[in-house]
Structure 1
Amino acid sequence: MEAVVGLLLMLLGVSHGVETYCDGRQDGAQCYGALGGTVVLQLMDSASEITKYTLTFNKIRILSGRMNNVSESLIANRSFFTPSNGTFRINNLSRNDGGEYTLETFDSRGQRSEQRTLQLFIQAPVSSVRLVSECLSQGEMRVSCSSEGGDSPQYSWTLDGHALTDAELLSGNHEPNNIILKQHVSGRLGCSVRTQVSRVSKEENIINCGFIFINCTSNGKHISQWVFAATNTLCIEPTTAPTTVTEMDLSTVGVDTYCDGRQDGAQCYGALGGTVVLQLMDSASEIYRYQLKINTTVILRGKQNTIVSDLIENRSFFTPSNGTFRINNLSRNDSGEYTLDIFDFRGQRSEQRTLQLFIQAPVSAIQLVSECLSQRMMRVSCSSEGGDSPQYSWTLDGHTLTDAELLCGNHETNNIILKQHVSGRLGCSVRNHVSSVSKQETISTCKDHSLLICGLQFAVAVLAVIGIVVFFHLKKKKNMRAEVPASPRAMEYSENSFSVVEMRSTSDQ
């Protein structure tokens, strides 16, 4: 019965719009009315003792009266003044009703005894709220809150009924429409959107982005029982700060993912060999009968908090209190269309929802290979082992690569060419819907070998010229020694030759 009354009140609220109240007895009051709704302006305590009064809207008189008698009202069929309590009611508000309202009162002599003004602002009310969550690379969760309608909306967040704290928020505060939650945060997350004339909120159960236990090796040392985030490449020891893992035993990893399947047509992802948690409903305690099928095979039946049958042997578990269905040790065969049917006490199907589950192999390891090109440019390739439908992203010293650093390609491909001046800590991240792995390496600019090449070319040319000069010099010297003298007296002889000439001169005497 209470549910029926609540539904009727909700329908009446929708059909008649939002009603707001404002005390305009103070000069300069600011009042708000909902578009399509009703505003009640408290102009005075009572008109029974006021000789004459007028109400103008943007200098146009819309109401006049004497004591308990209203003589004029120009907002036809939409306004009503109650002299006994001094309230002025305007229905079916439009944007044109916003502006300055001025009340003037007069005494018995016709002299103005008081003048007050108020500003009326018309706002569209918030109609609905939507929450969208996304796991990030370090195991954090980004959650956005969007609303339909509503002028100048303001946002606030709660977790299990209390306002979010700095211990739960990675960045921002609990008042923007986008927040980032730290790795350990889970529970009943709520977003409230409000304006001056309305307030709408929505809550959803969130699960942290898949922390599990693995064995890993860090810097050559084997470490066990560290916590691993499903979307992270870090082993995180509970008592110390995160440490980068150089090698990882991925055979021990089981990735835990979560998907909200309460919306018809939801797309969910699970990691091969891991676990997926499907949010099928808020709670089964008030559902008379339900069943879950994969493709055409019924795998789960139940009534309220009692599970009748569960056909995925030793690998699944349904929790009626929170409506989650957990499947462990996922295989490719677990992918497909899951259909939830809900029945009322008469056996009639009251609701049907489907979701698509896709099983992906997680990314396991990354290798970076760099190569210097001509003009001091560098080609870098990023390759990963395993992982279905991998997506790539690049960073340099923590920021996304820009066009000023890239010669060609973009920061979302697995092969890039860096410009000449680029150096620093280059990182490549490979991700899919169930995992993310990253690797960083320090790179230096490629050396310019053009001067060395030019120097070598010059040295070779100089040596070639010297060789040619020496060759022709030796050849000329050899030719000079091979010439025969025409007359002994015309030649310059050596010491032995001169002795021969002396002997001939003695014989002649």
Structure 2
Amino acid sequence: MGPDRFCSFNQSDPCYAAVGDKLNLLMVRDARDQELHLYKELMDSRELEVFRIMNKKKKKHESIRNRSEFIFDNGTLIINRVIRADSGTYILELYDSDGSRTFKKHLPVNIEAPIGSVEVSISCFSNQRSVSCSSDGDQIIYNWTLNGEMLEQGSMDGNTTIQLNEGTDGNISCSVKNHVSHAQKTIRVKPCPVSVVFVLVWCFQLMVLLGLLGGFHIYMRHTSGKKQEDQKVRMRRFREGPEHTAEDS
């Protein structure tokens, strides 16, 4: 069984409890000489009588009969192991001995699933890191901090993601909470590992570039050698003169 939650019909704020908690609803200071009726509003605007005291006798609705108790001395209805179906607006009415109503008050009661474990993970991209946070629970509010400084906050439906640049360094925390619980997970932001695929592609590109440069070098040497040979032939013919040229013809 969860911890005790205490709510009163004199409070101005709604009442919150976690699934499985023990909910203590304080209705009157002393119920030994009271006529008391506790209703719950239904979706169709009808009212369901959940609990009643008349002539010092109690009557409970079957929805809470086996998991509730009432303490006359402090006028408290205790509902054990509350469930989501216990959520709703409750109406308390008190009557005097003449049957005249002396008190009527509404109290919204919200039963929420508590925060589960918080998971934080990092995904690396080319020049950014994506950090994700996930958790279970109802009406979750998340809060990102980096080295204690606020980055982002808002409502979370299952998970939330934040983008960090490549140079981000330090401890990043994801805090989550609702009205009945809270949790936090902190991890160290580390440099992204070098991608094996990136290294292979880079090596392939380097090999192709070196191959092209080697081929171009061979081509230039071959071209340069041919030009030098042609130059030597022209120079030899020039030195031999026209007579040698005529004999050749």
TM-score by length of structure 2 reads 0.69
Q: CA deviation at 1:353?
A: 0.9
Runs of 4+ in 1 over 4 A off after TM superposition: 445-449, 455-463, 474-481
| Aligned residue number for residue 53 of structure 2 | 302
TM-score by length of structure 1 reads 0.37
| Aligned residue number for residue 227 of structure 1 | none
C-alpha distance in structure 2 between counterparts of 1:318 and 1:266, whole Å: 23
| Aligned residue number for residue 71 of structure 2 | 319
Q: CA deviation at 1:325?
A: 2.0
- Indicate whether 1:292 and 2:42 are aligned: no
| Aligned residue number for residue 358 of structure 1 | 110
| Aligned residue number for residue 470 of structure 1 | 218
| Aligned residue number for residue 349 of structure 1 | 101
CA gap of 1:393–1:322, structure 2 versus 1, over 3 A, is farther
Residue of structure 2 aligned with 1:267, choices 4, 14, 21: 14
CA displacement 1:410-436 (0-9 Å, x = unmatched): 234622223444333322122222222
Higher RCO, Cα 8 Å, sep 6+: 2
Residue of structure 1 aligned with 2:153, choices 411, 415, 435: 411
Q: CA deviation at 1:447?
A: 7.4
C-alpha distance in structure 2 between counterparts of 1:422 and 1:279, whole Å: 51
* Contact 2:69 2:77 survives alignment (8 Å): yes
Q: CA deviation at 1:473?
A: 3.0
C-alpha distance in structure 1 between counterparts of 2:79 and 2:222, whole Å: 93
C-alpha distance in structure 2 between counterparts of 1:472 and 1:257, whole Å: 89
Residue of structure 2 aligned with 1:331, choices 58, 67, 83: 83
Code of the residue aligned with 1:320 in structure 2: it is F
* Contact 1:301 1:309 survives alignment (8 Å): yes
CA displacement 1:254-275 (0-9 Å, x = unmatched): 4435243323764122323433
| Aligned residue number for residue 144 of structure 2 | 394
| Aligned residue number for residue 278 of structure 1 | 25
Secondary structure of the structure 1 residue equivalent to 2:10: coil
CA gap of 1:465–1:369, structure 2 versus 1, over 3 A, is same
CA gap of 1:322–1:460, structure 2 versus 1, over 3 A, is farther
Unaligned residue ranges in structure 1 (runs of 5+): 1-253, 491-509
Secondary structure of the structure 2 residue equivalent to 1:363: coil
Q: CA deviation at 1:459?
A: 7.8
Q: How does 1:81-480 map to 2 (within 5 A)?
A: 254-256=1-3, 258-263=5-10, 266-285=13-32, 287-295=33-41, 296-302=47-53, 306-311=56-61, 312-375=64-127, 377-384=128-135, 386-397=136-147, 399=148, 401-402=149-150, 406=151, 410-412=152-154, 414-446=160-192, 461=209, 464-474=212-222
Secondary structure of the structure 2 residue equivalent to 1:314: helix
Code of the residue aligned with 2:35 in structure 1: it is R
C-alpha distance in structure 1 between counterparts of 2:164 and 2:190, whole Å: 11
Secondary structure of the structure 1 residue equivalent to 2:51: strand
Residue range with higher mean Cα deviation, 315-324 or 414-423: 414-423
C-alpha distance in structure 2 between counterparts of 1:387 and 1:352, whole Å: 33
* Contact 2:2 2:81 survives alignment (8 Å): no
Q: CA deviation at 1:382?
A: 0.8
CA gap of 1:323–1:474, structure 2 versus 1, over 3 A, is farther
Q: CA deviation at 1:349?
A: 0.8
Q: CA deviation at 1:445?
A: 4.4
CA gap of 1:479–1:326, structure 2 versus 1, over 3 A, is farther
* Contact 1:360 1:387 survives alignment (8 Å): yes
Sequence identity percentage: 29
* Contact 1:278 1:326 survives alignment (8 Å): yes
* Contact 1:427 1:438 survives alignment (8 Å): yes
Greater share of residues in helix: 2
* Contact 1:367 1:382 survives alignment (8 Å): yes
| Greater Rg over alpha carbons, structure | 1
C-alpha distance in structure 2 between counterparts of 1:320 and 1:476, whole Å: 112
| Aligned residue number for residue 240 of structure 2 | none
Secondary structure of the structure 1 residue equivalent to 2:179: coil
